[in-house]
């Protein structure tokens, strides 16, 4: 909201979890004085410290909507565009139906991973997922675990926080957490547990939590349904470390690219007073490649330039102006710049930008540049099975890549 005070919001969110300035500073890599200046309204984050503020939202365990609100108060674009707490018709409804159906049928281990690239949230549309789970499992049988971000948390604090999130009362150890959750399973209850940002915290605490959930899933077959959500870091835990059996036995799902019907719903949810038409939204789908942040920026541009909507046809002036605007998006530059600045990866990026096809899609991309572009949501998969290939999302994104390269070469 435009009227939010950044200092007031930060103070509210810090008080909610009793976070100190020194604690926040340690976790996000700033000085205590800098955090105190934010909280006291003496200063606000500058553009170069946006990543520090995003880390702060994770440490404070903010929802996607809360994170967007804090970023907006600091003058930044949202980290998770198009996230709305909705009622009625929902985007991606068919995918969510399929996801829950497959989880319910996964025996003996109803465990799934839901992976999503940048700007969709982890998971995307969390409230909608939880609402759907409550309708299927019952209001009191849906738990949401979000492990503490802090790497300095001791086991007692870590599991006490998770116990509170699950409504299990006061737990002071991993054993008490496991025992409290098992009591509910022994009573015959079927429990759905959404675990978001599983990769947070220290490896030792993460391994303990994974072991507890895997053990309870084995002992109470079919009664503990787990959906673990994340992005690149969660995929790395599954495919690169390979030592967490909880992840090794989980089915993997990827958040899908939005279709035209999804984008129409998102446009109406985001700007309900604007009469969005299918031709306009379809044109924006082509220009943005379904990238959620670019799509939202395109919607905002069309709201600001209403006359352009009637001329949004390929080759026309409005099309060219919007494409140029989107190619200048800071979100694209934030992903491209780390690849364009070192001379070695700059040459590789130039090669990739000139290619229409980027190679075979694999469950896990070993190529560092391709993996960064994939999780940055700049490339995606087209086709299925052996025919699945990697492609740039759209010409606009390639435009941005060339602009970044030119900028780096000029410097």
For residue 88, the model assigns a pLDDT of 53
In angstroms, how far is CA 196 from the centroid of its own chain? 10
Q: What is the mean pLDDT of the chain?
A: 89
Query: Would you say residue 90 has pLDDT above 60?
Result: yes
The 3-state DSSP class for residue 252 equals strand
- What whole-number percentage of the chain has pLDDT above 70? 97
How do residues 298-313 score in pLDDT, each as one tens digit? 999 999 988 877 778 8
Query: Would you say residue 87 has pLDDT above 60?
Result: no
**For the whole model, what pTM was predicted?**
0.83
Section 309-318 average pLDDT? 83
DSSP assignment, residue 254?
Answer: E
For residue 3, the model assigns a pLDDT of 66
For residue 83, the model assigns a pLDDT of 62
Residue 252 phi/psi, 5° resolution?
-110, 130
For residue 4, the model assigns a pLDDT of 80
Section 325-338 average pLDDT? 90
Beta bridge partners of 382: 389
For residue 180, the model assigns a pLDDT of 93
pLDDT band at 1 (very low <50, low <70, confident <90, very high): very low
**Which residues have C-beta within 8 Å of that of residue 288, sequence separation ≥ 6?**
294, 295, 297, 298, 326, 393, 394, 396
pLDDT band at 2 (very low <50, low <70, confident <90, very high): very low
Helices (H), 17-170: 21-28, 32-39, 50-59, 64-73, 93-105, 126-137, 155-165
Give how far Cα 108 sits from Cα of 89, 111, 192, 200, 297, Å. 33, 9, 15, 27, 44
For residue 241, the model assigns a pLDDT of 74
Distance in angstroms (rounded) separating the CA atoms of residues 186 and 181: 9
Cis amide leading into 108 (omega within 30) = yes
Torsion angle of C-alpha atoms 305, 311, 312, 318, degrees rounded to 10:
-60
Beta bridge partners of 228: 113, 195
CA 224, 228, 111: angle at the middle one, nearest 5?
40
pLDDT band at 350 (very low <50, low <70, confident <90, very high): very high
For residue 61, the model assigns a pLDDT of 81
In SS3 terms, 8-56 reads as HHHHHHHHHCCCCHHHHHHHHCCCHHHHHHHHCCCCCCCHHHHHHHHHH
| Window from 242-256, 350-364, 371-385 with minimum mean pLDDT | 242-256
Query: Would you say residue 91 has pLDDT above 50?
Result: yes
pLDDT band at 89 (very low <50, low <70, confident <90, very high): low
Query: Which helix H or strand E contains 391, and what residues bound it?
Result: strand 389-392
């Amino acid at each position: 909201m435009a009227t939010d005070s950044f200092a007031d919001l930060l103070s509210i969110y810090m008080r909610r979890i009793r976070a100190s300035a020194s604690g926040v500073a340690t976790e996000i890599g700033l000085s205590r004085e800098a955090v105190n200046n934010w909280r006291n309204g003496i200063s606000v984050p500058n553009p170069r410290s946006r990543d520090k503020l995003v880390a702060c939202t994770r440490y404070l365990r903010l929802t996607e909507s809360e994170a967007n609100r804090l970023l907006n108060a600091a003058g930044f674009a949202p980290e998770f565009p198009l996230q709305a707490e909705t009622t009625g018709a929902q985007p991606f409804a068919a995918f969510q139906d399929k996801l829950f159906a497959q989880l319910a049928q996964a025996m003996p281990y109803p465990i799934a991973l839901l992976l999503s690239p940048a700007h969709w949230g982890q998971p995307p549309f969390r409230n909608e997922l939880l609402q759907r789970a409550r309708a299927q499992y019952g209001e009191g049988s849906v738990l949401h675990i979000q492990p503490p971000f802090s790497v300095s948390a001791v086991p007692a604090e870590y599991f006490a926080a998770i116990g509170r999130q699950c409504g299990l009362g006061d737990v002071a150890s991993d054993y008490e957490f496991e025992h409290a959750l098992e009591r509910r399973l022994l009573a015959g209850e079927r429990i759905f547990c959404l675990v978001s940002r599983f990769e947070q915290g220290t490896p030792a605490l993460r391994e303990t939590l994974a072991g507890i959930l895997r053990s309870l899933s084995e002992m109470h077959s079919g009664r503990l349904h787990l959906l673990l959500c994340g992005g690149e870091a969660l995929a790395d835990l599954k495919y690169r470390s390979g030592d967490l059996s909880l992840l090794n036995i989980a089915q993997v799902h990827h958040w899908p690219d939005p279709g035209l019907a999804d984008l129409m719903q998102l446009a109406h949810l985001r700007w309900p007073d604007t009469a969005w038409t299918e031709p306009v939204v379809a044109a924006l789908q082509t220009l943005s490649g379904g990238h959620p942040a670019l799509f939202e920026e395109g919607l905002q541009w069309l709201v600001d330039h209403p006359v352009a909507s009637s001329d949004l046809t390929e080759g026309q002036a409005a099309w060219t102006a919007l494409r140029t605007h989107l190619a200048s998006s800071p979100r694209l530059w934030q992903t491209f710049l780390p690849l364009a600045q070192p001379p070695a990866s700059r040459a590789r990026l130039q090669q990739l930008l000139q290619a229409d096809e980027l190679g075979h899609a694999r469950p896990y991309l070993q190529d560092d540049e391709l993996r960064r572009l994939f999780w940055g949501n700049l490339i995606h998969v087209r086709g299925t099975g052996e025919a699945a290939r990697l492609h740039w999302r759209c010409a606009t994104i390639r435009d941005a890549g060339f602009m970044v390269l030119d900028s780096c070469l000029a410097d």
